[in-house]
Chain A
């Protein structure tokens, strides 16, 4: 009797050790993860880094799932300037959520030891949404016939019975003008109206509420290896187009230095195709000065279905590209030097508290 009690106790202890071992087992950033694993990972990131990570639910998907972001940076009583990154607006672009997870891992793993990341954590908050189109992403994991799904999973109606809206045509920025279809079965169906989709509304609400803090909007897609700058509509230029191109080209150079991959930089009407209602355009439209769409690997060979052995190198180069952009923006806003510099639509001396925030952007 005593022997079997001891055996039971031993088994229980071993099981307990196993359970905590599973919890702390390394997350594999070189594999694609289904949504439940990503959610567990997000909880883990928050739990393991309470000083710098907090999660926020900022909306719900059509199928009523919480849309969650990780807010990362040294905690501050007053709101800090911020950088936004979202991944997975399009379900089939699996490398994008993989990159968001990699990015989080990198900054959390280096902020204590890397002076540059440490400074970013001091001055900025990162708002990172690893999967925005959760319903679509889950659907793309369902079976072999759903892998190439793109849109959300909004149900069809009596008049048009296909599922889904292309979230990246649903934003209120020149909505419906070009590069869309009014047929709900189309992969570029832009929704019955602008912001008709709850996923879109989650983002527009959040960005609207944090407009004054948001310095940078990054949205991650694939494939085609490009850095896209606003606007998607032809003949409409962002006032800081030249600067955006400069920053984009510098980022492409940083990317190419890692593994030699070339990324094109330009507006969609130039390098890709004309579009309207994109999240990148919306961000710029409401005055977030730096807005970029990153299209990751590859180009023709694997297209959407990038092999897992390319996750690591893709993320490494994209990380350098994103950091190039973020550091430029950070240095422009936080470098303390008595240099007069035009920031957006006002002049200010960088060693005095810039009064530019008092002005609403002209555009």
Chain B
């Protein structure tokens, strides 16, 4: 059902579009020590565009995961275009956030983290972050955030007006040999889509360094072990 014109900011069409903008923000500015979450949508509108598809204009606030949803908020505005194409193609986002450049407080932690894990014999691996009880160890926190940022590339690409993605859990992380001074990490992430309630599993290879930020090099959708077949025994 098409929502056009001014949108109710608390309703889902505005929120879905803002979530897409949020994924875009995290792909560009996320790091092992910074992940943004949506705090509130202030204003939203949508219109059909000539080439087909729908364009949303949004005014919203985000907060850093580290400071929680009550922490200092960053004000952003974005244009999100959901194209109308035969085969799915990801939304296009233009984003402006105030004072983004001024946020540099995590540089020290990033460098320390980088130095610790860039060494040739570093081979971090872990499963289930968080565990079933919601625990994330101190050591795994930056990897958890990195996974969320890397997953944002996939969530952004896969989004449409009929989806609303979040990362539910990191199934595994396995450090690969560093390349070109980038930390190389293979993640398996479990994404949750609200409307379908599905858990969708993706394997991805991501690189990170303080200078280059997060890049996603490979992604592979993994059909989940279907609960269709009866257990082997």
* Chain A residues proximal to chain B, CB less than 8 Å: 31-32, 141, 144-145, 147-148, 150, 155-156, 160-164, 166, 179, 181, 185-188, 224, 234, 260-262, 264, 266, 270-273, 299-310
Contact = CB atoms under 8 A, between A and B. Distances in A.
Nearest to A226: B10
- Looking at B70, B131, B132, B194, the one whose CB has the most chain A CB atoms below 10 A away is B132
A162 B135 contact: no
A32 B130 CA distance: 15
A162 B227 contact: yes
B8 interface: yes
A187 B198 contact: yes
Chain B interface secondary structure, helix, strand, loop or mixed?
loop
A270 B192 CA distance: 20
Given A187-B197, A270-B12, A301 B133 contact: no
Interface of B: 1, 8, 10-12, 37-38, 40, 65, 69-70, 127-128, 130-136, 164, 166-169, 190, 192, 194-199, 225-230
Contact of A299 (B37, B131, B168, B196): B37
23 contacts: A31-B133, A32-B132, A32-B133, A145-B225, A147-B132, A147-B169, A148-B169, A148-B190, A148-B199, A161-B226, A164-B227, A181-B196, A185-B228, A186-B197, A262-B40, A266-B11, A270-B12, A273-B195, A301-B37, A305-B134, A305-B169, A307-B136, A308-B133
Contacts of B10: 264, 266, 270-271
A23 to B, nearest CB: 25
A273 to B, nearest CB: 5
A308 B12 contact: no
Contact of A307 (B133, B164, B198, B228): B133
Nearest to A139: B227
A144 B225 CA distance: 13
Contacts of B1: 234
Contacts of B12: 270-273
Given A161-B229, A273-B12, A304-B168, A310 B134 contact: yes
8 interchain residue pairs of minimum CB distance: A307-B134, A161-B228, A187-B197, A162-B228, A273-B195, A163-B227, A147-B132, A144-B128
Q: Which of A145, A300, A302 has the most CB of B within 10 A?
A: A300
B9 to A, nearest CB: 10
Given A299-B69, A307-B134, A185 B226 contact: yes
Contact of B228 (A156, A181, A270, A305): A156
B69 A261 contact: yes
Contacts of B229: 161
Given A150-B197, A302-B134, A307-B135, 5 more contacts: A156-B228, A161-B230, A162-B227, A273-B195, A304-B192
A308 B131 CA distance: 11
A24 B168 CA distance: 37
Nearest to B128: A144
Contacts of B199: 148, 187
B131 to A, nearest CB: 8
Chain B CB count within 10 A is highest, among A141, A179, A302, for A302
Contacts of B38: 299-300
Contacts of A141: 132
A305 B130 contact: yes
Contacts of B128: 144, 147
Contact of A308 (B134, B197, B227): B134
Contacts of A272: 12, 194
A341 B161 CA distance: 44
Nearest to A166: B197
A301 B169 contact: no
B69 A270 contact: no
B150 to A, nearest CB: 16
A262 B65 CA distance: 16
Contacts of A161: 226, 228-230
A141 B135 CA distance: 15
A304 B38 CA distance: 17
A188 B195 CA distance: 9
A351 B35 CA distance: 57
Contact of B70 (A260, A299, A303): A260
A302 B130 contact: yes
Contacts of A156: 228
Nearest to B127: A144
A299 to B, nearest CB: 7
A154 B151 CA distance: 32
A146 B135 CA distance: 17
Contacts of B168: 148, 303-305
A144 to B, nearest CB: 5
Nearest to B199: A148
A188 B127 CA distance: 27
B196 A187 contact: yes
Contacts of B194: 224, 272-273
A304 B194 CA distance: 12
A155 B38 CA distance: 39
Contacts of A301: 37, 65
Contacts of A302: 130, 134
Nearest to B193: A187
A272 B12 CA distance: 6
